[in-house]
Amino acid sequence: MADFVNLETDNGIGVIRLARPPMNALNTQVQEELRAAAIAADAADDVRAIIVYGGEKVFAAGADIKEMADMGYPEMSTRAPQLSSAFDAVAQIGKPVIAAITGYALGGGCELALACDIRICADDAKLGQPEIKLGIIPGAGGTQRLPRLVGPSRAKELIFTGRMIDAAEALRIGLVDDVVPAAEVFESAKTFAAMFADGAPRALRAAKQAVDTGLELDLSAGLAWESQLFAGLFATHDAHEGMSAFTEKRKPGFNGT
């Protein structure tokens, strides 16, 4: 068991749970435990979808400022890529990843949510990238994933001002995908994740790769990449099982091969 981040599994759903009270500040230890949990979740054959959850009160209120305050350029030039790659480990999980956001998702907490595929948010949550108020910028994906999600102009406004936004605005601009009562956030995330518990793992992984990599390519290259992934799935048991089940009018039994 890690000290602050653990992977729990149940009925095909994995939960990466942050537990560093009171605010789940993302210090170096939390970052490395998050990386380990993400790698384990990706490798677990019995896990078909992942929920990232910080508990009932807070998702994650940002990096550990006390830890960073004494760092100079030499230290941070080494640490910054490690911080970014820890969140990349979450983004690179080849399964649907759902952020269940309660309380605050600020700074690194918002960047962690951005590394997920879907964001389900409490109606009283607050999100933002306030780093500019500390004389720095987001350093774990905020300047890159946020504009890809909400557009460059909105992202710049949020990053330049460092202001917090409420759940309603986050939904309106596309930063989150659903807003539910605070007491229902985790169960809503579980309900969504459960849709994939009997899904085709290789197809889900390919779909995620097609979208994520395709965003970095021009349209022609993206279409070629999609075709390659599409054709590759015809070498799997699950593709033939899915099509056979369709023609035989039965539920498919995907096994991940």
Rounded to an integer, what distance in angstroms lies between the CA atom of residue 79 and that of residue 249? 54
- Tokens in use for 208? 């995620």
Pick from 217, 204, 120: nearest CA to 170: 120
Token look-up 């997920």 returns: 116
Tokens of 1: 């068991």
What span, in angstroms and rounded, lies between the C-alpha atoms of 189 and 172?
Answer: 19
Q: Is 131 a catalytic residue?
A: yes
Question: Which of 67, 131, 157, 169 does the annotation list as catalytic?
Answer: 131
**Contact call for residues 126 and 110 (beta carbons, < 8 A):** no
User: How far from 217 is each of 146, 224, 226, CA to CA, in Å?
Assistant: 18, 10, 11
Identify the active-site residue in 56, 67, 75, 111: 111
Separation CA 98–CA 15 (nearest Å): 9
Contact between 224 and 210 under an 8 Å Cβ cutoff? The reply is no
Catalytic residues: 111, 131
